[in-house]
Structure 1
Amino acid sequence: MSALAWTAVGSLAAWLWLLLGQGFFWRTDVRLPRRVAPPVWPSVCVVVPARDEAAVLATSLPSLLAQDYPGRAEVFLVDDGSTDGTGDLARELAARHGGLPLTVDRPGEPPAGWTGKLWAVRHGIGLARAREPEYLLLTDADIAHAPDSLRELVAAAGTGGYAMVSQMARLRVQSPWERLVVPAFVYFFAQLYPFRWIGRRGGRTAAAAGGCVLLRADAAQRARVPDAIRHAVIDDVALARAVRAIGGHLWLGLADRVDSVRPSPRLRDLWRMVSRSAYAQLRHSRALLAGTVAGLVLVYLVPPAAVAAGLAGGDPVAAAVGGAAWLVMAGTYAPMLRYYRQPLWLAPLLPFTASLYLLMTVDSAVRHHRGRGAAWKGRTYARPEAVSDEG
């Protein structure tokens, strides 16, 4: 066989392993586990860090205030230095819609060594602890919850004995670029962190979706959250690892009625979302970056290249093996497209989308080495190794 055919064989072997040996990451049936209503509903405090979120708050915040929760619950929105009137709008929405009690506060600028979001979360948890809640719901300002969302999360956590229950909110998919890029984002995340592995007791895989995290308050205190992860750019995964480290049982799955309302209609918006943290995911390692690029090329780009080159160059073996690998790839992507209610003809386009993610990852590394990495809403964060451990 030709070198191209052997390379295609390697890609097909990788896909067969991903299909069967990576926690069935491609399946989308991991939803909230079995839940039974407790005899007494525990108290919950909802913490919402918000920086310049006025554009989405009118949709998301009323859904939190309208939670149909049988126990005691209240919302703490922490205005992280917004300049667009986020805090004033939150107070206006609470006065207009009523519902759960709302407290709006500002913590001031984060000190050195803290990301803005985690500094806001710390402030919100500090306010919440005065109420002595049993659970904390950490949710982003762009997340809209169904009226029974909090009730279902608490019931699931109590029934399963989970220290943390997290749902991957259904992201907005309306523009052509969102249809092409967003389902793949969740697909790649599940490939890195298979949901079934996260839910295993005593397992090693730990991850969460930062938009919707229900956390036992005592687990947060024992894990020193968020202080222990104060510099984390990918804070949801860092949070899950901190809770796992104290023996906490985790659960992560796809949401049915928890949705992100943040629009990202342009490729530029999506590019910025991915590139700001992609290199941090690789621990700012050039070796891991090189390995990731090579892996993406082998797994996602070789199959269509082998088909095209094999057909053009009279190499039927390369074309057939590459086609088989491409077919498996598209088949594993189809369930995620169904979950996002997208047409299945997008599945064969996954190699193109993967090439975009490859370029986003390289761009993330370039930005980091130019001192512009991990930039978000006017702030740029240093790599963890550059942050002092004092305090």
Structure 2
Amino acid sequence: MDAVVWTAVGSLTVWLWLLLGQGFFWRTDLRLPPRREPADWPSVCVVVPARDEAGVLPASLPTLLAQDYPGRAEVFLVDDGSSDGTGELARELARAHGGLPLTVDSPGEPPAGWTGKLWAVRHGIALARTREPVYLLLTDADIAHAPDSLRTLVAAAHTGGFDLVSQMARLRVESVWERLVVPAFVYFFAQLYPFRWIAVRGGRTAAAAGGCVLLRADAAERARIPDAVRHAVIDDVALARAVKRAGGHIWLGLAERVDSVRPYPRLRDLWRMVARSAYAQLRHNPLLLLGTVLGLALVYLVPPLALVAGTVVGSTGAAAAGGLAWLLMTVTYLPMLRYYRQPRWLAPLLPVTAFLYLLMTVDSAVQHYRGRGAAWKGRTYARPGTVLDER
């Protein structure tokens, strides 16, 4: 049992460090920073890449068109080769609901070296630049915005001097699997990219949430967005890194009234969402994959296993270290469950969810080596990059 005891102590040590030394990632009180409304509201163009989004567009697009924004704003929806009538549906919704002006256009199939979404974003930004906007709002077709969303984003960017302000949209949690997996997804993301570190000027940590990114147009030009990240599968993180590398000041936090309306009712839906990009996050590096698997096992699986093993064989050290580590894990997960309005009893089940994520990550690597890469809506990217090295 000596090895079990020391492994459990190692896991407990990691959890003590995560509790205090990882930017307080587990706290969920980071919302839009203090803001004051500008005297003259800057112009904004909203860019929405959309591929086969007819199922969610009626719940999302009208919320963009209905934005209560005092300045000049318009929406550009870029139909990325949809086969379900997404573009025509967008025009019908605009005719029915009115609101901000809407332009619907399509760039055609992406050339080699581009992901479909970023090719659509490039086309949308090119259309938007003809209007010479001060800000660009990049938002996904499944994101619903409260009427004052654009107004508060611009006010926060203006007050804080931010080049990029991003909100992590509240994801849907209605099915059993969504309740088990989705809050943990955001928890793990915040653990990798502590939100408090992202806003530090000159810091190395950079990330954004692709569903809601307000970006200064001149900062996008300096960072060569989206060309600099054109084959990034994890495009939001890549975009934030490019902006920060170009000297931009960025901010990311949790949203209150920005919501994803996309359902993930079955485990396989969530599995596909995670697995399509997990190995890209690890730069397709087998050593990083091995380290991630071992790290997940040490941090999330060892505590309950050590508690059970120590209790069965009477090892007080293993049971105590494992139990304390599991307790810290549970306590740090509670704020995220509260944010998602989920019951507290889900917190001790985090090791189960972490094991699922471990399997999803391994499956992502397996699919990559089978030549399937990151597959999404009929397109497969065999070797997606995270960020291009070229300047």
Paired with 2:69 and 2:114, the residues of 1 have a C-alpha distance of: 33
Q: What is the CA–CA distance in structure 2 between the aligned matches of 1:193 and 1:375, rounded to whole Å?
A: 25
Supply the AA of the counterpart residue of 1:117. Answer: K
Partner of residue 33, structure 1 = 33
Partner of 2:278: 278
Q: CA contact under 8 A between 1:14 and 1:299: conserved in structure 2?
A: yes
Q: Is 1:297 the equivalent of 2:294?
A: no
What secondary structure is seen at the aligned counterpart in 1 of 2:76?
strand
Partner of 1:252 in structure 2?
252
Aligned match of 2:373: 373
Q: Quote how far apart the aligned CAs of 1:385 are.
A: 6.6
One-letter amino acid matched to 2:277: S
CA displacement at 1:313 relative to structure 2? 1.5
AA matched with 2:141: A
State how far apart, in whole Å, the 2-side matches of 1:386 and 1:356 are: 23
Matches within 5 A, 1:322-333: 322-333=322-333
Q: Which residue of 2 aligns with 1:165?
A: 165
Matched residues in 2 for 1:10 and 1:379: separation? 42
* Correspondence 1:8 to 2:8: yes
Identity percentage of aligned residues: 82
Q: Does 1:354 align with 2:388?
A: no
Within a 5 Å distance, the mapping from 1:45-60 to structure 2 comes to 45-60=45-60
State yes or no: 1:109 paired with 2:140. no
For structure 1, which runs of at least 5 residues remain unmatched after alignment? none
TM (norm. structure 2) is: 0.98
Contact in 2 for aligned 1:113/1:387 (Cα 8 Å): no
Counterpart position of 2:175: 175
Q: Aligned in 2, Cα 1:39/1:27: closer, same or farther, shift over 3 Å?
A: same
**Residue in 1 aligned with 2:23?**
23
SS class of match (1:54) = coil
Query: Across the two proteins, how many residue pairs are aligned to each other?
Result: 391
Give the whole-Å Cα distance in 1 for the aligned partners of 2:97 and 2:159. Answer: 32
Deviations 1:285-331 (CA, angstroms, capped at 9, x unpaired): 00000000000000000000001111111212211110000000000
- Map 1:256-271 → 2, pairs under 5 A: 256-271=256-271
User: CA separation in 2, counterparts of 1:125 and 1:281?
Assistant: 26
Opposite residue 169 of structure 2, the aligned amino acid is: A
Q: Is the aligned partner of 1:213 residue 2:213?
A: yes
State the shift of 1:388 in Å: 10
Pairwise CA distance, 1:369: 0.3
Q: Does 1:223 align with 2:223?
A: yes
Say what the alpha-carbon RMSD is for the aligned residues: 1.5
> Deviations for 1:137-187, whole angstroms, at most 9, x for unmatched residues?
000000000000000000000000000000000000000000000000000
Q: 1:204, CA displacement in angstroms?
A: 1.1
- TM-score by length of structure 1 reads 0.98
Shift of 1:2: 1.8
Residue deviations 1:98-133 (CA, integer Å, cap 9, x gap) = 000000001100000000000000000000000000
After alignment, is 374-383 or 137-146 more displaced? 374-383
**Contact (CA 8 Å) 1:26, 1:190: kept in 2 or not?**
yes
Distance of 1:129 and 1:167 partners within structure 2 = 23
Structure 1 residue identity aligned to 2:14: A
CA distance in 2, matches of 1:151, 1:389: 35
- Which stretches in structure 2 are left out of the alignment for 5+ residues? none
User: Is this contact kept in 1: 2:238–2:387, CA < 8 A?
Assistant: no
- Mapped to 2, the partners of 1:277 and 1:50 lie a distance apart of 19
Contact kept? 2:281, 2:386, Cα under 8 Å = no
Is 2:95 aligned against 1:95? yes
Q: Map of 1:334-345 to 2, 5 A cutoff?
A: 334-345=334-345
Q: Partners of 1:341 and 1:385 in 2: how far apart?
A: 35
For the 8 Å contact 1:113–1:388, the answer to whether it is kept is no
Q: Find the aligned partners of 2:384 and 2:356 in 1 and give their Cα distance.
A: 27
2 CA distance for matches of 1:215 and 1:168? 15
Worse-superposed segment, 381-390 or 161-170: 381-390
In 2: Cα distance, 1:249 partner to 1:385 partner:
24
Partners of 2:346 and 2:294 in 1: CA distance: 24
Looking at structure 2, the residues matched to 134 and 225 of structure 1 have their Cα atoms a distance apart, in angstroms, of 15
C-alpha displacement at 1:382, in angstroms?
A: 3.1
Q: Indicate yes or no: 2:128 matched with 1:128.
A: yes
